[in-house]
Amino acid sequence: MWRRLGRWIQAGLPGLALFGILSGTVALLIYRDRVESGQWRKAEEERLRSREAVFARGQLGEMLELCSEVWGKTEPSLAHEPVALAWTPEGIDAYFYQGADESSLRQVRCDAGGVFRGPRVAHPLHELLPAEAPSESGARVEGEWPRAHAVIASRSLDEGELALELLQHPVTGLVMARHWRSGEGGARATLDPPDAPPFAFLPTSAGFRAAPGFEVRTLRTLKRQRWIADEEAAFALLERELPAGARISGLRLEEDAIDVTIDWPTPAFDGDPPAPYGDKTFDEYGVADMSWWYPRTIPGFGCARGELLDRVRASLQEAKAKAGDQGFSSAWYSCSTAYSNGRDAVWHLQAK
């Protein structure tokens, strides 16, 4: 009996050793994950305390420097100067041109919690702007925006000062300022220069009400689309935007974007002959990333020969009917060999 027990133990030792090694490895990985999670939480807490301290001091230049270091990294298409800013004790709201539409701005919020991409809003002077671009004959004030930054760089919000807004006029280049201070009956505004046109209210977090006689015109938020859920709106946009005679080589519909490649002679750079393809991206508001089609010599995952828009729309409806009644996070029309024979386009529907 003892001989059989010894042989059983001897035979089982390799398995026990392997089990011990695996158990030790799992325990080590769990421990390392806990340590790294703890380090990450500690770093985040320190980052938050550091940001809170900046906003608590309320020094406008310091607040702007902290925010401007981040928003270009958070949103690469916003790695340029904003055209409107609003400071409050809680943070900064910045407004940027984004894409081909100059009648609207992208809102970005920066506070102790970080930088957050906001909606697209109508320009704060939208109702006062000319319907068409002005002629170049009118003199434009240059360098006003950097000078305005220099003025506020060393100052803080005064006691009783609730908000400071800066806006650059898109036509003249003049920078207008509006100071909001607490007063009897509510907040009171002062414009600089005094004859500046009253623009829409820029702060998103200010919890104060205007005193009687001080009108606060709110920013108009544009209507956003969810393209994958509203394919009719997506195809209506494409029908308006496609050049005459262009065919769809590739198309991707997502919640907040449309990426399209067209089979169409597309103007190229530096006097080169037209490229056979072009592409463009539209955001969740239907605003294109560029006013022109980017030339491409190859269709990428698109098809060498494009298809008419109506047929692409009909084929999407057929693909959805086959997939059944379910929600989708994206729909991709392409000649990718992962889903097609490389010649004939198919729709690949990604379920939620």
Question: pLDDT tens, 170-194?
Answer: 988 899 999 999 888 888 899 999 9
Residue 21: burial class (beta carbons within 10 Å; 0-12, 13-18, 19+): exposed
In a domain, 301, yes or no: yes
Which residues lie below 8 Å from residue 57, measured CB to CB, with a gap of 6+? 156
pLDDT of 141 strictly over 90: no
pLDDT computed for residue 134 by the predictor: 45
For the CA atoms of 228, 264, 269, 250, what is the dihedral angle to 10 degrees? Answer: 30
Is residue 179 located within the same domain as residue 287? no
Whether 330 and 250 share a structural domain: yes
104: in domain: yes
User: Is 122 in a helix, a strand, or coil?
Assistant: strand
Do 267 and 146 fall within a single domain?
no
| Residue 240 falls inside a structural domain | yes
Question: Does residue 81 or residue 308 have the better pLDDT?
Answer: 308
| 296, pLDDT greater than 50 | yes
Per the CB < 8 A criterion, the answer to whether 255 and 284 are in contact is yes
Q: Which helix (H) or strand (E) holds 165?
A: strand 161-168
Q: What is the mean predicted confidence (pLDDT) over 198-222?
A: 85
Same domain, 257 and 173: no
**Is residue 16 included in any domain, yes or no?**
no
pLDDT (tens digit per residue) in 89-103: 889 999 999 999 999
Q: 275 and 179, same structural domain?
A: no
Determine the Cα–Cα distance for residues 52 and 6; give it in Å rounded to an integer.
67
Residue 258: pLDDT over 80? yes
- Three-state DSSP state, 23: helix
Query: What percentage of the chain exceeds 90 in pLDDT?
Result: 55
Facing residues of 92 across strands? 87, 110
Q: For residues 170 and 84, what is the distance between their CA atoms, to the nearest angstrom?
A: 10
Q: Indicate whether 154 and 255 sit together in one domain.
A: no
Q: Which two tokens stand for residue 138?
A: 């009118």
pLDDT at 24: 62
What is each CA distance from 216 to 168, 174, 213, in whole angstroms? 18, 21, 10
**Percent of the chain, pLDDT > 70?**
82
The tally of domains found in the chain comes to 2
Under 8 Å CB-to-CB from 14, ≥6 apart: which residues? none
Amino acid 239 reads E
- Nearest alpha carbon to residue 331 among 315, 350, 318, 344: 350
Residue 23 CA to residue 31 CA, distance in Å, equals 12
Task: Copy the structure tokens of residue 346.
Answer: 């198919």
272 and 153: one domain? no
Mean pLDDT confidence for 330-346: 94
pLDDT for 164 equals: 94
Do 187 and 235 belong to one domain? no
Whether residues 71 and 187 fall in one domain: yes
Domain span holding position 171: 57-129+139-192
Q: Cα–Cα distance between 310 and 304 in angstroms, integer?
A: 18
Q: What is the pTM of this model?
A: 0.82
Whether residue 114 is contained in a domain is answered as: yes
User: Are 264 and 313 members of one domain?
Assistant: yes
Residues 180 and 90 in one domain: yes
Q: Is residue 144 in some structural domain?
A: yes
Query: Is residue 166 domain-shared with residue 250, that is, in the same domain?
Result: no
Match 């379910």 to its residue by tokens.
326
* 173 domain-assigned: yes
- For residue 248, give Cα distances in angstroms to 39, 153, 279: 49, 50, 10
Average pLDDT score, the chain: 85
| 45 part of a folded domain | no
Instruction: Enter the tokens of residue 341.
Output: 């024979």
* Average pLDDT over every residue of 269-277: 94
